[in-house]
């Protein structure tokens, strides 16, 4: 199979390459694409050295799948080109997620959505959304959902290499002129991810609300999020509160979430932590409890590697679905 990766030199692009190799995806030929400043560099993969090129017309010709992680502007420019040249595009940016003609897919939740892709593009959801909807789907199947509230604690790698560099510089006692954050991140927590609208909601909070509705078919269900950047290198956490249509005990809720592929549910003797999932593809759930005043309300904690399951691995899983189709 001929596979293209746009954004191959970025944090998620390099993670995509690692995941493709780990999962033994049948790649016969790689087309590695990145910005002009990376053109001519080489990346070792699969026992060979592959040259990185800038994207051009014709670059995707003959490709079966094109994995994109180069930002929304690049995706809007090149995804239609790649699709027209015959590749199925799996895009990790926000460019196509809410397009009604582009499926937004988490394989454990809505794999059937990938079958209808009139534009030849499949969108990969936001990192925090992916890890949240996987265990949430288990609750939806078992008891139905009336309302969702989420607070995310998102690592600096969610802002790319600049985010990692900013944290490293601050921890070393300096600062970064290219920091993507609106304030110092070391020793801090910043409730501001993405532009803030006139009504006070940040873009990241809108993403979690809108994408969860689309993926899970929950249009009209009230969903509210508070998204916070924290000084963790890799690994997002989400504190979720869900009002169900039917009551579940904590044990029943754990069992329902554990039925979803890729979910590990921990018991109450210890809680899963973001640093412990770095480098893994699993979504871990813990601190599950029934609200003391509202018996149909559950509270729980979710952690996952935002570069892997929150981005690269989910994209490769979609490519694997296409391979099996």
Which residue's structure tokens are 């060979």? 48
15, 69 in Cβ contact below 8 A? no
Helix (H, G, I), strand (E, B) or coil at 319: helix
What is the residue whose two structure tokens read 């904690």? 301
Tokens standing for residue 20: 């493709």
Nearest to 33 by CA among 313, 58, 22: 58
Cα 220 versus chain centre, distance: 23
Give the angle subtended at the CA of 135 by the CAs of 315 and 115, to the nearest 5°.
40
To the query of whether residue 287 is one of the catalytic residues in this protein, the response is no
Catalytic residue among 63, 127, 227, 287: 127
- Give the distance from CA 264 to its chain's centroid: 18
**Measured between alpha carbons, how far is 162 from 129 in angstroms, rounded to an integer?**
22
Phi, then psi, of 155 in degrees rounded to 5: -70, 160
227 as an active site residue: the answer is no
Catalytic residue from among 63, 236, 287, 299 = 236
Tokens of 238: 């989400």
Task: Fill in the DSSP letter of residue 195.
Answer: P
Answer whether 16's CB lies under 8 Å from 90's CB.
no
Catalytic residues: 127, 236
């Amino acid at each position: 199979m001929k596979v293209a990766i746009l954004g191959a030199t970025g944090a998620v692009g390099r993670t995509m390459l690692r995941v493709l190799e780990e999962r033994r995806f049948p790649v016969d030929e790689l087309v590695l694409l990145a910005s002009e400043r990376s053109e001519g560099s080489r990346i070792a993969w699969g026992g060979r050295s592959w040259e990185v090129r800038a994207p051009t017309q014709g670059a995707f010709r003959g490709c079966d799948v094109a994995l994109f992680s180069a930002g929304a502007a690049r995706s809007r420019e090149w995804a239609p080109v790649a699709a027209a040249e015959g590749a199925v595009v799996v895009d990790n940016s926000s460019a196509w997620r809410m397009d009604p003609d582009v499926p937004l897919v988490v394989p454990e939740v809505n794999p059937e959505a990938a079958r209808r892709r009139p534009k030849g593009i499949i969108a990969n959801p936001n990192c925090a959304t992916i890890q949240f909807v996987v265990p949430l789907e288990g609750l939806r199947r078992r008891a139905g959902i009336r309302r969702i509230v989420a607070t995310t604690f998102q690592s600096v790698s969610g802002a790319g290499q600049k985010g990692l560099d900013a944290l490293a510089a601050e921890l070393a006692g300096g600062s970064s002129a290219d920091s993507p954050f609106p304030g110092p991140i070391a020793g801090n927590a910043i409730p501001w991810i993405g532009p803030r609208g006139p009504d006070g909601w940040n873009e990241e909070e809108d993403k979690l609300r809108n994408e969860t509705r689309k993926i899970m078919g929950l249009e009209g269900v009230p969903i509210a999020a508070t998204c916070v950047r924290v000084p963790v290198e890799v690994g997002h956490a989400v504190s979720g509160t869900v009002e169900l249509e039917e009551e579940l005990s904590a044990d029943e809720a754990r069992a329902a979430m554990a039925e979803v592929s890729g979910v590990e549910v921990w018991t109450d003797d210890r809680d899963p932590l973001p640093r412990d999932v770095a480098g893994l593809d699993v979504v871990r759930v813990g601190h599950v409890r029934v609200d003391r005043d509202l018996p149909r309300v559950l509270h729980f904690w979710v952690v996952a590697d935002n570069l892997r399951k929150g981005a690269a691995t989910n994209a490769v899983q979609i490519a694997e679905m296409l391979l099996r189709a």
